[in-house]
A and B are shown apart, each in its own frame.
Chain A
Amino acid sequence: MLFNSIHFIFFFVIVTTLYFIIPHKYRWALILIASSYFYMFFIPIYILILLFVITVDYFAGILIEKHTGFKRKAFLIMSLAANLGVLGFFKYFNFIGENISTIFNFLGITNHFVDLNIILPIGLSFHTFQAMSYTIEVYRGNYKAERHPGIYATYVMFYPQLVAGPIEKPQHLLPQLKSEHYFEDNRVSDGLKLMLIGFLKKLVIADRLAIYVNTIYGHYIHHSGISLLLATVFFSFQIYCDFSGYTDIARGAARVMGINLIENFRLPYLSRSITEFWRRWHISLSVWFRDYLFLPISYALTRKLHIANSKQKEIIIYGIAALITFFLCGLWHGANWTFVIWGLGHGILLLSSRIFKNTRIKIRKLFHLSSNSPLLTLFQIVFTFLVVTLLWVFFRSPNLAISMLVLNKIFTFSGPLFIGDNVDGSSFAYSIIVIIALVVYEIKMEFLPGRILIFNNPKLIVRLISIAFIIAVIFLLGVFDGSQFIYFQF
């Protein structure tokens, strides 16, 4: 079920109403049934995949807790293998097969790779990562294995974050699922407001920008560098509003029921460096990779690498860990080399940022700029945004050859700016207006927090007018084509 559908509005109202009507002890069952219905709206049979993953991890959690030493590790590996096996089969089978086939062809070896024509289960990468988070945390002793199979299943399938996160950790979500939550006017209102902001981001900004982006990238061969550059800038905002809009709706829907999901975005395009960007963008995934991949690799390398120069050693360890993490982070997004290059690009930027840290400080001192000078801040924000934006070219393009062609066109700045056909002047103007509005709002949030309050104004009437105004804006400027959220495909 799509959040941006009328079905979801009915679904949400019915489920939430029932949630507050029925006794607390049955609420997990309601959420589980509702989540199953929500998931089965896409491809019903795929619910069996979730059932398999849930069953394996539920028992794995108990067995991991019961045992120590080798057996404990073996049960963890079994659980991870089951999750990664499902993910690998559905998401990467064709990708791996095609690449092996290409290598064989290159070597002149005849082969007949059979494309299985598998439809990727929606949100698979998200719920398998959340499931793995559970067994890892139990293994590490950070959380006791959940004995109630229904509540554990609800942890994996909690409908607001089932198909596109945020990826939760058991110690954060499971206790909340077990606690009783009463109807609280302010909390419910806050949740609904957050959902409304999510709808605004998705319908008014992301889907509006998608019109220009899809037109240009759909016929990239005919479009100029300047049009492609602008489409890529638009895509930066589109993907941000699409994904953070989804997260806001998810967090809002959960908050109405008294459950706080973790923050997934913190004004990422106002980051002053690529390192900061990853602390603000898709936070739940960054934390997952940091805790379960980057840090374990770093610790392992620290023990095994013997380099006398500690600074060199630190950079080598950081570099290897970052590149492996971002290689896999890219691959997590999709079975395509474009995502791998996108991930590696971020990894290389992070590594360069670490290597050239002292150089940057020297340059800053050369220009007599303090670390928090407004000019330097502006430069850093714009620079980080541009670098992130250029890497989005790989994310948006269907293959590497097209990515390179688009980048080549962008850097040659050839031809005029495209406005026409289904992107007429007014559609283009709306795109510019919504971006300006978003940037102004986010700058206010970042640099003037607590000032010019709209949604959180102490006066009730101002808050209510602002809500009515946002609904009116959605009616008037929303794009109601029922388009899917970009991150659903992952």
Chain B
Amino acid sequence: MAAITHEEIESEEAFRASARAWIRANLPDGWLAGPRREPRRLVDRFKFRHEWHRRLYRGGWMGLHWPKCCGGRGLSLVEQILFNEEAAAVEAPPIANWVGVELVGPTLIRWGSEEQQQNYLPRILSGDDIWCQAWSEPNAGSDLANVETTAVREGGDFLITGHKRWTSWAQFASHCVVLTRTGSSSLRHKSLSCFIVPLSQPGITVCPIAMANREAEENDVYFSQVRVPAQNMLGPPHDGWRVVLTAMEHARGTATLFRAVELQGMLKRLLRSAKTARAGAGLADCRIRHRLTLLQTEIEALTCLAYRKLGELKKGLNTTATASVEKLIWSRLSQEITGLALQLEGLNALTGRSDNDEIWPGQWCDSLFRAKGTAIEGGTDEIQRNIIARRVLDLMV
């Protein structure tokens, strides 16, 4: 840590105070006083988050650490962290266009042409465009380099054909970054290219996938001879793998901070559950207290780890392996929180009844399934361990 001067501390505190004041004054109606609960139905929840996204944008709080030339505020990651912490303190809702702001945006800033940046970045921040990423396929999950969706050149355009799977929030999205094969499949990751595709293009079908928690954040997306202009290619031809790595680095990198913040919010809900749980199972029970204390400490440690990684990022170090460490810890803690919450709710969790009026019936059951997904999405736990073993520990070589 470069020694922080007194002036910097004062300026950080001033920023924190202004973020806190703005957030508290602009949260959804009744949020602070009420149960801080988002709508249960996915479509309503998306609208709710979209409204919050727009409100943040209008207040000038979106893209804090994006460069000014890209529509951001040009602030440092430290300010972004401070803002996130203040948002977490009141369990502010997530934003609708999370994929756009946290994954696609930084990737466009790194790889996009000037025209692409001008066209898309401001609308990502404003929430006018909602983005998704279409990478995985039925036969290209952990082995992403096995992508079979093709992009074939035809004049000044490319024709995209294939089947994408696990495309989060595609049913609400207007744009998509698609990973395609543009050369021989024997070249594996050296013949992949990325394209920006408006989802309104003819030939695209989006089919939500009903998940075990009865929600459908994930989608199958079918591309049938979808025509996109060549200038929609993102990054150099056949170099889509590096584009994907940039986004992954953000997904496993700065995004961890958001995840740590998300866990803090979950813990708060869990604490309230513990307080209201039936006699014998709540905070009076020393076993529950110990588990909660340990969980709270682990989440705090994960947050510290994320801060440390930001330090590495600031120094320009490669953080891929650290990101895998964090991802593994995050997915484990997510599952532990929901598992403990279910135990606290007891039989009520099974019958969908709850003593706790701030959660909807069966919410923790739903969260349990969602949390299980954290061990799969963005690279399974096994893939993360492979990355650590190979890149850090020099094993499995």
A, B assembled together: no
